[in-house]
């Protein structure tokens, strides 16, 4: 009986190791040589498996390269589930993101070797960017369900969960874009805080600076 129970567990561990080995091979090859100069066959060879095994785990080399960041949405959502029930939804989302960034065990992007390079490359390669977008969308769908559950509402009938997730994910995306442009990997937590501060601060409470709107009587010659 013990042997029967252990066999599926052993297979599961072996499958996880194979997937991780393929993902790491794709990650290293693509960052070293560029997405267009790496083939699926080369990734499989680096991982010491055949092409069929690669296809069992990944649909494309883009999916394999990005496997290292796929779990980050799950980590943020786990932190979101753990936030106190009484927190306003957007506050809970913000603090979940900051919990993820602060958790040394989770190895957020600014702590993980070469993730900064990966996101720079994703900005430059359309197919890689598209694959990364799908990962974000999947994570946001889970976030939507979590926020709806916190509010005790049906997200098909109540727009607040969708607004919360769109705002929070948008702040994180804006911070990520600024991070990639800035070229300073250690700056990510500060930029995330800055992006969420913008949501809660002057963008909401103050009118935009700039020229006053034109009066309907402007230029009609009256005094």
Predicted confidence (pLDDT) at residue 188 exceeds the cutoff of 70 = yes
Contacts of residue 168, defined as CB under 8 A and 6 or more positions apart, other chains included, come to 90, 93, 94, 97, 143, 196
Angle at 176 between CA 170 and CA 179, to 5 degrees: 145
Percentage with pLDDT > 90 across the chain: 76
* Of the candidate ranges 108-122, 178-192, 203-217, the one whose mean pLDDT is the lowest: 203-217
* CA-CA-CA-CA dihedral for 138, 144, 145, 149, to nearest 10: 160
Predicted confidence at residue 223, as pLDDT, reads 43
Predicted confidence at residue 9, as pLDDT, reads 78
DSSP state of 59: S
Predicted confidence (pLDDT) at residue 217 exceeds the cutoff of 90 = no
Q: How long a stretch of residues is the chain?
A: 223
> For residue range 128-147, what is the model confidence (pLDDT) as tens digits?
999 999 999 999 999 999 99
Predicted confidence at residue 92, as pLDDT, reads 96
The whole-model pTM stands at: 0.81
- What is the distance between the alpha carbons of residues 145 and 154, in angstroms, rounded to a whole number? 9
Number of H helices, E strands in the chain: 11, 0
What band does 216 get if pLDDT is binned at 50, 70 and 90?
Answer: very low
What band does 208 get if pLDDT is binned at 50, 70 and 90?
Answer: low
What band does 212 get if pLDDT is binned at 50, 70 and 90?
Answer: low
Closest CA to 191 of 201, 203, 177: 177
Classify the C-alpha dihedral 51-55-61-67 as positive or negative.
negative
Contact 188, 109 (CB under 8 A): yes
Mean pLDDT of the chain: 89
> For residue range 43-98, what is the model confidence (pLDDT) as tens digits?
999 999 999 999 999 999 999 999 989 999 999 999 999 999 999 999 999 999 99
Joined tokens for residue 77: 């959502």
DSSP state of 214: P
Predicted confidence at residue 1, as pLDDT, reads 47
Q: Directed axis angle between helix 115-124 and helix 160-182, to 10°?
A: 100
End-to-end CA distance of the chain: 96
Contact 171, 195 (CB under 8 A): yes
Predicted confidence (pLDDT) at residue 213 exceeds the cutoff of 60 = no
């Amino acid at each position: 009986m013990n042997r029967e129970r252990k066999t599926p567990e052993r297979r599961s561990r072996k499958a996880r190791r194979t997937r991780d080995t393929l993902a790491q091979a794709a990650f290293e090859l693509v960052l070293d040589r560029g997405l267009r100069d790496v083939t699926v066959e080369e990734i499989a060879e680096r991982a010491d498996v055949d092409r069929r095994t690669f296809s069992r785990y990944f649909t494309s080399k883009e999916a394999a390269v990005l496997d290292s960041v796929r779990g980050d949405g799950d980590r943020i959502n786990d932190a979101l589930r753990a936030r106190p029930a009484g927190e306003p939804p957007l506050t809970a989302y913000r603090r979940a993101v900051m919990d993820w960034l602060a958790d040394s065990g989770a190895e957020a992007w600014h702590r993980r070797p070469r993730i900064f390079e990966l996101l720079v490359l994703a900005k430059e390669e359309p197919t890689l960017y598209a694959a990364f977008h799908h990962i974000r969308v999947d994570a946001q769908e889970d976030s939507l369900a979590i926020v709806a559950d916190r509010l005790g509402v049906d997200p098909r009938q109540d727009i607040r969960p969708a607004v919360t997730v769109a705002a929070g994910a948008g702040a994180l995306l804006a911070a990520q874009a600024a991070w990639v442009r800035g070229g300073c990997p250690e700056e990510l937590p500060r930029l995330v805080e800055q992006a969420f501060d913008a949501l809660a601060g002057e963008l909401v409470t103050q009118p935009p600076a700039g020229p006053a709107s034109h009066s309907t009587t402007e230029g009609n010659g009256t005094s």
